[in-house]
Amino acid sequence: MKKLQLICIFLLTVFGANAQFTQFGKIEYERKVNIKRQLNDLDDEQKQWIEKFKAQIPDFNTSYFDLYFNTSKSLYKPGKEVEGGTKLWFAQSPANDNVVLTDFGTEKVKANKTVFEQKFLVEDSMRKIEWKISDEIRTIANYKCRKAVGKIFDSVYVVAFYTEDIMVSGGPEMFGGLPGMILQLAIPRMHTTWVAQKIDMVKPKDTDFTTSDKGKKTTQKELYETLKTSFKDWGKYADKNLWWTLI
């Protein structure tokens, strides 16, 4: 990661002020969770119970998150609220309160997470993903983006589209490690996508990078061990609950 940051700084120095690179700003991501597909992952007994509510369940649960960034750090947090939506507890979108502060210089993350109304303060190293970059290109929020595929939790594939025009190796939640900013992220097994809707070239204030110190201090590994037992009776949905907690 440090080598990647040095390369970015070198390129900015070489090309100077005339280079069309974005070094700071605010990104609004739209996150969509396919609820109907999530429910298909439940056990048969759970499906039968939920069947009577099926007509009230929308296809997607949509939420918004903001990412403030510069070349040294980023902060991902909940964005604007969405009116309406389902009130059924089992169809609520998970991880809606996550706040993630990433320090690119120290390669550390600090995250506020709420699980079953218990608050956790996760302090850990940045996630390491072995990305495989392809030649596929698409335009997202008016930025040219390249496709990359990686894996988390040993077997969960992640598809990202990143832009080299934003020379910050970040993205939503704890994702990053590419030669530019991730503007679209998909985790098929979690039936979830994050897509950048707009990017504002505003310089973040110091107050935009503040997080809470409240919550039980833990690491990603410790949090996994703590919650693994809690989810053991959730059947086939147990793994997905852990994934949502640890993304």
Q: What is the CA radius of gyration of the chain?
A: 19
Report the interhelical angle of 220-228 vs 238-246 (nearest 10°): 150
* pLDDT tens for each residue of 136-191: 999 999 999 999 999 999 999 999 999 999 999 999 999 999 999 999 999 999 99
pLDDT(13) > 50: no
pLDDT at 10: 47
Q: What token pair was written down for 52?
A: 């009577």
Residue type, 188: P
* pLDDT tens for each residue of 80-118: 988 765 555 555 567 889 999 999 999 999 999 998 888
pLDDT at 17: 36
* pLDDT tens for each residue of 123-138: 999 999 999 999 999 9
CA dihedral 225, 229, 235, 238 (to 10 degrees): -30
Q: What token pair was written down for 230?
A: 């809690």
Alpha carbons 32 and 195: distance in angstroms, whole number: 9
